[in-house]
């Protein structure tokens, strides 16, 4: 018995299987990273289970990459760094992490410490307890009133339209069980919104409250414009409802226009041509033009995404992966 054990390849004994993979997308976070390292690693060490941290450098233009490589040197064996060839966005970065993650539980975390890494053990506990996706709801959310209100509206609307039920789509501190990660890895969409995608595949999801802090270092990497684009990804990626709503609106408006034209015709026969109503007519015309333009826009949103899918361009390009093992050599 003892002999067979001794004959086993060395690494099978010295390298316990990774149980927890933590994935952190990073974009220009040089100010936050030192604070993140200071809190993340002790929180993970405290769990006393084999873990790995995968940082994805999403095309940062500051000192992010050297800082990540430093962290990897300090903790070889548990830290891996993926260096993207440009800025492909937070969700693509997380997908790259999913592809590499070895753990049976995979946790995603923002680098800016708005969600405390100390919550990770609680989330892993939920997975151990049988949940396959652990979502989080930001308790006392510390963002601008505008962001909070906008996100409340978006969350409600998204649930109505996609038929999913999530309280907080924006909070990225989440945990996933291995089987869900495998399914996500198999789906090759170019515009993926991770929490919604996972929710779709989950069989026993749960949401827990976690605290939320103000971003202390650096600025949010999302401008208003990027947020709107992201939400279009979410909406179009999970339902055809906007498209169908447009069609219904088109039918309704056409029907009303026919009635309106009939009314004008009858009025002309009995009352004679009207000149004063010109501006009313203009107003109506402008309204219809607005409707038409937004309809074309929404159709364009889908066509654009179909275009992206058929091009089959890679979702992200990795310049280099700094693997844990090679740091030891
Ligand atoms: N991020 C990224 N690529 C991007 C934008 C953001 O990897 O193009 C990362 C960022 O470094 C952070 C996380 O995604 O770790 C969330 O970004 P941020 O805190 O700016 O978003 P917010 O909290 O304002 O929603
Ligand atoms: Mg943030």
Residue 67 lies in a domain: yes
* Residue 264 pLDDT exceeds 90: no
Compute the CA torsion angle 301, 110, 85, 231 (nearest 10 deg).
Answer: 0
CATH number of the domain where residue 64 is located: 3.90.550.10
Which of 300 and 184 is assigned the larger pLDDT?
184
* Residue 261 pLDDT exceeds 70: yes
Do 54 and 159 have their domain in common? yes
Do 207 and 138 have their domain in common? yes
Do 167 and 278 have their domain in common? no
Mean pLDDT is lowest, of 37-41, 76-80, 82-86, 306-310, for 306-310
Residue 235 lies in a domain: no
* Residue 16 pLDDT exceeds 80: no
Distance CA 29, CA 139 (A): 24
Q: Which ligand is nearest to the CA of 27?
A: 1
Do 138 and 35 have their domain in common? yes
Query: If you average pLDDT over residues 230-242, what whole number do you get?
Result: 79
Do 293 and 318 have their domain in common? no
| Partner residues linked to 174 by β-bridges | 108
Cα-to-centroid distance, 208 and ligand 2 (Å): 18
Cα-to-centroid distance, 111 and ligand 2 (Å): 8
Residue 296 lies in a domain: yes
Looking at ligand 1, which residue's alpha carbon is closest to its atom 23? 220
- What pLDDT score does 325 carry? 63
Q: Which ligand is nearest to the CA of 57?
A: 1
Residue 178 lies in a domain: yes
Residue 301 lies in a domain: yes
Work out the number of other CB atoms within 10 angstroms of the CB of residue 261.
Answer: 10
- What pLDDT score does 266 carry? 85
Give which of 47, 31, 82, 14 is closest to 175, Cα–Cα.
47
Cα-to-centroid distance, 112 and ligand 2 (Å): 5
pLDDT over 90 percentage in the chain: 44
- What pLDDT score does 124 carry? 96
pTM higher than the cut 0.85: no
Do 294 and 322 have their domain in common? no
Cα-to-centroid distance, 142 and ligand 2 (Å): 10
Which of 14 and 125 is assigned the larger pLDDT?
125
The 8-class DSSP code of residue 83 comes to E
Do 128 and 260 have their domain in common? no
Residue 22 lies in a domain: yes
* Residue 277 pLDDT exceeds 60: yes
Do 215 and 297 have their domain in common? no
When divided into structural domains, the chain yields a total of: 2
pLDDT tier, 324 (very low <50, low <70, confident <90, very high otherwise): low
Query: If you average pLDDT over residues 137-141, what whole number do you get?
Result: 85
* Residue 312 pLDDT exceeds 60: yes
Q: Which residue has the tokens 């064996």?
A: 77
Residue 150 lies in a domain: yes
Strands (E), the chain: 20-26, 51-57, 79-84, 105-108, 133-139, 174-177, 206-211, 318-322
Residue 233 lies in a domain: no
Dump the DSSP string for 111-151: TTSSS-GGGHHHHHHHHHTT-SEEEEEEET--S-HHHHHHH
Helices 145-162, 224-238: inter-axial angle, 10-degree rounding: 10
- What pLDDT score does 15 carry? 59
- What pLDDT score does 326 carry? 55
Do 143 and 186 have their domain in common? yes
Task: Name residues contacting ligand 1 (CB within 6 A).
Answer: 25-27, 29, 58, 87, 89-90, 93, 110-112, 114, 170, 220-222
Query: If you average pLDDT over residues 186-213, what whole number do you get?
Result: 87
Mean pLDDT is lowest, of 29-33, 49-53, 153-157, 241-245, for 241-245
Do 13 and 97 have their domain in common? yes
Do 256 and 211 have their domain in common? no
What's the whole-number average pLDDT of the chain? 86
Q: Which atom of ligand 1 is nearest to the CA of 227?
A: 25
- What pLDDT score does 32 carry? 95
* Residue 327 pLDDT exceeds 60: no
Range of the domain at 259: 241-311
Do 26 and 153 have their domain in common? yes
* Residue 25 pLDDT exceeds 80: yes
* Residue 11 pLDDT exceeds 80: no
Query: If you average pLDDT over residues 93-114, what whole number do you get?
Result: 96
State in Å, rounded, how far the first CA of the chain is from the last one: 32
- What pLDDT score does 125 carry? 96
């Amino acid at each position: 018995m003892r002999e067979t054990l001794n004959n086993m390849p060395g690494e099978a004994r010295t390298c316990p299987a990774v149980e927890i993979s933590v994935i952190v997308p990073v974009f220009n976070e040089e100010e936050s990273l030192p604070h993140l390292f200071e809190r993340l690693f002790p929180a993970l060490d405290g769990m006393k289970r084999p873990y790995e941290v995968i940082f994805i450098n999403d095309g940062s233009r500051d000192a992010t990459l050297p800082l990540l490589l430093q962290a990897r040197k300090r903790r070889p064996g548990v830290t891996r760094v993926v260096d993207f060839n440009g800025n492909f966005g937070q969700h693509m970065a997380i997908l790259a992490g999913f592809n590499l993650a070895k753990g049976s539980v995979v946790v995603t975390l923002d680098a800016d410490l708005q969600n405390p890494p100390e919550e990770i053990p609680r989330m892993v506990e939920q997975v151990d307890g049988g949940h396959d996706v652990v979502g989080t709801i930001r308790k006392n959310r510390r963002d601008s009133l505008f962001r909070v209100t906008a996100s409340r509206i978006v969350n409600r609307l998204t649930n109505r339209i996609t038929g999913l039920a999530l309280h907080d789509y924006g909070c990225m501190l989440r945990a996933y069980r291995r089987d869900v990660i495998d399914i996500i890895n198999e789906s090759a969409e170019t515009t993926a919104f991770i929490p919604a995608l996972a929710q779709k595949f989950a069989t026993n999801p749960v949401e827990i409250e976690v605290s939320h802090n103000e971003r202390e270092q650096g600025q949010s990497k999302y401008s208003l414009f990027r947020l709107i684009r992201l939400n279009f990804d979410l909406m179009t990626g999970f339902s055809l409802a906007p498209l169908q709503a447009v069609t219904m609106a088109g039918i309704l408006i056409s029907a009303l226009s026919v009635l309106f034209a009939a009314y004008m015709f009858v009025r002309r026969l009995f009352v004679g041509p009207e000149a004063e109503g010109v501006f009313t007519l203009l107003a109506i015309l402008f309204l219809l033009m607005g409707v038409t333009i937004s309809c074309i826009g929404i159709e364009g949103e889908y066509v654009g995404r179909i275009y992206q899918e058929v091009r089959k361009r890679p979702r992200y390009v990795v310049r280099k992966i700094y693997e844990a093992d090679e740091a030891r050599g």
